[in-house]
Structure 1
Amino acid sequence: MPPRINIPPVTRILLVVLALQSVLSAAIRYRQWTAHSEIVIPYLNLIPQLSIVYPWTFLTTTLVESNIFTLSIACATLYHGGRYLERAWSSREFGKFLLITALVPNTLCFGTMVTFFAFTGNDRWTLMTIAGTIPFQISFLVAFSQLVPAHTVTLFRGILSLRVPRFPLLYIGLVALLCLTPMLASASFFLAVYGLLTSWTYLRFYKPVFPDLDTSQQASLRGDASDTFAFAEFFPGPARPFVESISSQIFNVLVAMRLCAPFTAADISAARGESTFVPRAGSARAEADRRRAIALKALDQRLHAATAGSASRAQTAPAPPVVQTPLPSASGPTVQTQPNVTTQNPMTTTQTGALLGETSYNPDGDDSRNNA
């Protein structure tokens, strides 16, 4: 039998909905296609002038691709990125992340199209289709930039090496180039920019962090205050001072509007201790290993004490009396029988008194505490 492909539940649902909605959109376009008009589906895709009566399109439009090329890229992105992030964050947190990174960029793009129409009076802006998994794709790149900020990807057999935080801007540049072709609409560029800002803001300030049980990290810690996840890290070195000055001013405005909260001393100290947060599964495993080591050590001490006590009692016990058993024949000799004293220790000991087979489990960080 071929090996079963293990796909987490939320990722599996995304792939199924993406395939169904994309096939449905293609079938409708095929049936209504004409050479003189452009087919729009206002009850499936988000179109500012027509979809206002279909509010669910603010979510459904994200899982609709209009051609086989973008559909293939979307399936590969959701399959690999979705499996990784859902296992690292849990299905609930991953679903919340997807909901935010789909709804907020689509709403902001909707407002941008309406604003352009208000200034220009051109209906083309309000009849433009806002669709595609672009917000998800760039959000995954931002999430990877938080999880593995120091990871380097080598392309073209070592000719080009890039750190993971460089990919979001490269992706926006690629989308901008494709918007000049019939493959992507102009709204895709705004979806990419808003997807970057939305995902970074949520991960930086709002996403709950799973606490590490081996440290004194607060259970209610949110966001990521590490320097490796600053917004300027997405830009090349020469542009970072300029980006840092602008982002600091914007952050101060958001704090004044009470949309963001400044990081506390505990947040900064926790971020300096670890560049990224520790997944919940790993922390629970570390805590279980630490408790198991303590339990095994206590069990060994009890077995050692019990063995030493039984050995000392056996050495101090008096010898059993000699029993004379007469034989049936009166003329025969008297037989003296003495029971053999055999002392079986539960576990043999060495000359230093240590138990044979003593379990010694020292996880990382326990050696220093035991020697203290």
Structure 2
Amino acid sequence: MPPRINLPPLTRALLLTLLVLSSLNSYLRFRSWSSSTPDNDSTAPSIYLTSPRWAIPYLVLIPAQSIKYPWTFLTSAIIENNIVSLVISSAVVYFGGKYLERAWGGQEFAKFVLFVTMIPNIVTFILYVLWHGVTSHTPEYPTPINGLLALSAAFLVSLKQLVPEHTVSLFNSLVRIRIKHFPALFVLANMLSGPLLGTDTATWLSLFGFLTGWLYLRFYRISDIGATESATGGEGSIMKGDPSETFAFVSFFPDIFHPILAPICDSVYDALVQLKLCTPFSDSAIEAATESAASRSEGGLPSVMRQGGGGGGGKRAEAERRRALALKALDQRLNAAAASRSANEPAAGTSDVAPEAVPNSAEVKNSKAAGGVQA
């Protein structure tokens, strides 16, 4: 029997929607092309996939037409025009969606997807409308706005938040890139492809997807920053956004640019605070979020995203798991000793029976240290 594909429900629904809508869009474009092309026309059949003339206004976002179809602000974000981009986008949804939905839960994942698909489409649509209005030139067949570029950029931003220091090796380790640099490289690649390949919409979708993904995770997403501590008996705390230093805007760029970008980013942040568009983070929140980010980074890339099982991140994760088990066993022994002492104390409060020795604080520290070494 073939292996069963195990995907969370929203990721499965998103992947199926991508395949169905992309196939429907391709079929309708082909039908429109074939019905409008004379039999003696030598135009290549593949043109129906790329030419804006055959775009479907009630499926993808067309600045001059789709205002009559408001649902296209969502549907256009999950439609691809060709098989290459469809395969790439399917892989992005499969791996990125599977990981994020399991890490955040279905509700948070759904809000994130809606935020980073609709807002870039809306902003890009407004940008093109303004451009056509300023230039007084509306092309007969405007370039449609569609594709998963915004969602792909936002997925890379989320990975940068969770495992920024993880290194991806390509071409037999000939090229090694940290995940924290992926979002900026992705946006740069699409900005260069615009003038070279004529895909100007890719520039704006990737850029706005990057910005909206970071803004949502930085200032708005409700998260449990104590998830790592709660695994060892502590209680998690709820925080809005992620004020950690490792998720600041300048952290997306190489260190050499930080002295130039940091003052600019600080000025923009101060202006947004003055305008009450965002709430300033407290020092305690920054410290707690930075510690939580450090603990996430120590675990390496989660198993659903790793291609091999022998990386250093897996070893660290296993060591943390064993340390947590050792601490839990120590707590159980201390609780059992305390319960035994209470049971052996005389009811009248006398000390006829010598109380059972309970480890003092120094012994507990030594025991925990020994447990950490064993892990």
State the TM-score, normalizing by the size of structure 2.
0.74
Q: Which moved more, 1:238-247 or 1:173-182?
A: 173-182
- Correspondence 1:200 to 2:214: yes
Q: What is the aligned length? A: 315
CA contact (8 A) 2:11 2:101 kept: yes
SS at match of 1:221: strand
The superposition leaves residues 70-93 of structure 1 with CA deviations (integer Å, 9 ceiling, x where unpaired) of: 000000111011111111111111
Please point out which of 66, 72, 82 is paired with 1:57.
72
> Structure 1 residues 115, 129: CA separation in 2 closer, same or farther (over 3 Å shift)?
same
1:294 CA displacement = 4.4
Aligned equivalents of 1:289 and 1:61: distance in 2?
51
Matches within 5 A, 1:113-152: 113-124=128-139, 127-152=142-167
Indicate the residue corresponding to 1:6 in structure 2.
6
Alignment RMSD, CA only?
3.6
> Structure 1 residues 24, 242: CA separation in 2 closer, same or farther (over 3 Å shift)?
same
Q: Which moved more, 1:201-210 or 1:233-242?
A: 233-242
In the alignment, residue 367 of structure 1 is paired with which amino acid?
A: K
Aligned equivalents of 1:245 and 1:219: distance in 2?
31
Aligned equivalents of 2:20 and 2:189: distance in 1?
27
- Correspondence 1:162 to 2:180: no
SS at match of 1:161: strand
The superposition leaves residues 15-44 of structure 1 with CA deviations (integer Å, 9 ceiling, x where unpaired) of: 000000000000001111145971121111
Aligned equivalents of 1:47 and 1:365: distance in 2?
68
SS at match of 1:112: helix
Matches within 5 A, 1:172-321: 172-180=187-195, 185-212=199-226, 214=229, 219-275=237-293, 294=331, 297-299=334-336
The superposition leaves residues 213-270 of structure 1 with CA deviations (integer Å, 9 ceiling, x where unpaired) of: 6478873311111111111111122222222222222212211221111111221121
1:202 CA displacement = 0.9
| Segments of 4+ moved more than 3 angstroms | 34-37, 213-220, 276-279, 286-309, 363-366
The superposition leaves residues 299-353 of structure 1 with CA deviations (integer Å, 9 ceiling, x where unpaired) of: 46656988999xxxxxxxxxxxxxxxxxxxxxxxxxxxxxxxxxxxxxxxxxxx9
Q: Which moved more, 1:205-214 or 1:114-123?
A: 205-214
In the alignment, residue 272 of structure 1 is paired with which amino acid?
A: T
Indicate the residue corresponding to 1:32 in structure 2.
32
1:186 CA displacement = 1.2
User: Gaps spanning 5+ residues in structure 1: where?
Assistant: 310-352, 355-362
Aligned equivalents of 1:70 and 1:135: distance in 2?
13
SS at match of 1:153: strand
> Structure 1 residues 295, 236: CA separation in 2 closer, same or farther (over 3 Å shift)?
closer
Q: Could you say which structure has the higher helix fraction? A: 2
State the TM-score, normalizing by the size of structure 1.
0.74
CA contact (8 A) 2:216 2:241 kept: yes
Aligned equivalents of 2:151 and 2:365: distance in 1?
37
CA contact (8 A) 2:60 2:75 kept: yes
Aligned equivalents of 1:98 and 1:30: distance in 2?
29
In the alignment, residue 246 of structure 2 is paired with which amino acid?
A: T
In the alignment, residue 63 of structure 1 is paired with which amino acid?
A: I
CA contact (8 A) 1:48 1:126 kept: no
Aligned equivalents of 1:302 and 1:153: distance in 2?
51
1:367 CA displacement = 2.7
SS at match of 2:222: coil
In the alignment, residue 176 of structure 2 is paired with which amino acid?
A: S
CA contact (8 A) 2:226 2:292 kept: no
Larger Rg: 1
> Structure 1 residues 56, 287: CA separation in 2 closer, same or farther (over 3 Å shift)?
farther
